[in-house]
Every structure is written in C-alpha cells, then in structure tokens.
Amino acid sequence: MTKNAKFIPVLKFDWLTRFFDPLMKLTMSEKKFKKALLLQADIKDNDIILDFGCGTATLMIMAKKEAPKASIYGVDVDPNVLKIAKNKVKNSGYEISLRAYDGISLPYKSETFDKVLSSLVFHHLTRSQKEIVLKEIYRTLKFGGELHIADFGRASNIFMRGMFLIIQLFDGFINTSDNVNGLLPEIIREAGFDKVIEHKRIMTLFGTISLYRAIKLL
C-alpha cells in the first residue's frame, strides 16, 4: 500500500478492527447477506474470483467452501485487516491469494477475473474513489465477466433510513450518500458496465443492504 492511500478502516479506527468479525455476526445478518451474494454470483469450479476490499476474508472462505476448485483472490487497502485475513485463511486451510491495494491500480493484469465480488466496501469510498475502483474492476474483468456488489442502498423504509444514520455518523456522510440515495447502479453503468440491476434487498440492524449485479459485455 502506498503511504498516501486514504481509506476508512473497517470500524473507522484501527484499534476497533479486531472487533469487526464479532460485530458483523451480531448486527449485520452477515451470513444471510453473504450467502445471498454467493448465490447470486453462482461461482463455478474453475472461476477466477476477486473479492475487492476483502476485509477479514470471511466471504472468500465461504466462497471456497462452496466452490473449492475456484481460484480466489482478495485485495484490500488496509494492512491491519490483511493481517487478520492472512491468519484466518491460514487456519481455514484453503489456498487464497491476498494482495495489498494502493488505492489506485489493482495489482492484476487486464481481463483476469470471471467474477468480482465486493461486500460493504463502496460506502467507504467517495464518488471519485468509487469511479477509480470501478474502472479498475472493469479493466481486470474478462469480457462477459460479472460484478457482484453487496452494500448499503436506498433504505426500504423510514426505520431502515433512521438506522443507517448510525453508519453515516460513524463512517461519514460524503462517502455514504451515493449509496443511500440509490445512485450506485448509475455510477456502475457510467464505468462501462451493462445490465446493471439491483437483484435483492436485505434488511439489517443498520440499514438496507442491496445486492447489485453488472456485466462487462463483449
């Protein structure tokens, strides 16, 4: 990671990072929405998969359990979270490749991946970071490749909107507003993707998570 890469740690402060996994289990229906994302991505045995903003590696380990012959790569900008991910991957016994991201260029060749997954990362990114990241994801996807995102979207009801204020107070308003205003599909389309759809909505304690799907067409 370059020294200048700016990012919001998983729970805003470095010293809270170690509490991320238990908190996700308790408050975010983690298994439910990650299983739904994997169901949507429909990973096949020989697929080459990137988890963008892989955090502590939970989604990648779940993916490997479902499709052991798929090749799984994870990238994240935060060296502290990557340390936790490395330990979890080692303990899982699965072969998963982890790399650091410099916030600008993904460390992979163009047209590498069949599918890119990303869970709860985009609400950490400003509009310009979202655009940079989506262009890089587009570059590294094969033609016909798919992008599958789970992240906070437009609130399903006023209660969900109210609860999402807690996330906004914690993670920031500038980076979260595109999400809650329902603008992610438009931003994904502007990066060159086709067939962008919101596939599903899941309510959690801290707001509505939307599952998006998009394709890099031939």
Ligand X SMILES: C[S@@+](CC[C@H](N)C(=O)[O-])C[C@H]1O[C@@H](n2cnc3c(N)ncnc32)[C@H](O)[C@@H]1O
Contact positions with ligand X (CB under 6 A) in 93-152: 101, 103, 119-121, 124-125, 129
Can you tell me the distance from the alpha carbon of 161 to that of 139, in angstroms, rounded to the nearest whole number? 34
13/194 with CB nearer ligand X: 13
Nearest approach, Cβ of 40 to ligand X (angstroms)? 15
Distance in angstroms between the alpha carbons of the first and the last residue of the chain: 32
Among 36, 63, 70, 81, which residue sits at the site for ligand X (rule: CB under 6 A)? 81
Distance of alpha carbon 125 from the chain centroid: 11
Minimum CB–partner distance for residue 46 and ligand X (Å): 24
Instruction: Give 77's DSSP letter.
Output: S
Distance separating alpha carbons of residues 10 and 121, to the nearest angstrom: 9
The first and second tokens of residue 172, run together, are 């920031």
74 touching ligand X, by CB under 6 A = no
Residue from 1, 7, 139, 190 binding ligand X (CB under 6 A): 7
Q: How far is CA 71 from the centre of its chain?
A: 17
Greatest CA separation for the chain: 45
Least separation in angstroms between CB 78 and ligand X: 3
Cβ of residue 150: shortest distance to ligand X, in angstroms? 7
Q: Which residue of 53, 145, 153, 185 would you call a contact of ligand X, by CB under 6 A?
A: 53
- What distance in Å separates the CA atoms of residue 35 and residue 31, rounded to the nearest whole number? 6
Contact set with ligand X (CB under 6 A)? 7-8, 10, 24, 53-55, 58-59, 76-78, 81, 101, 103, 119-121, 124-125, 129
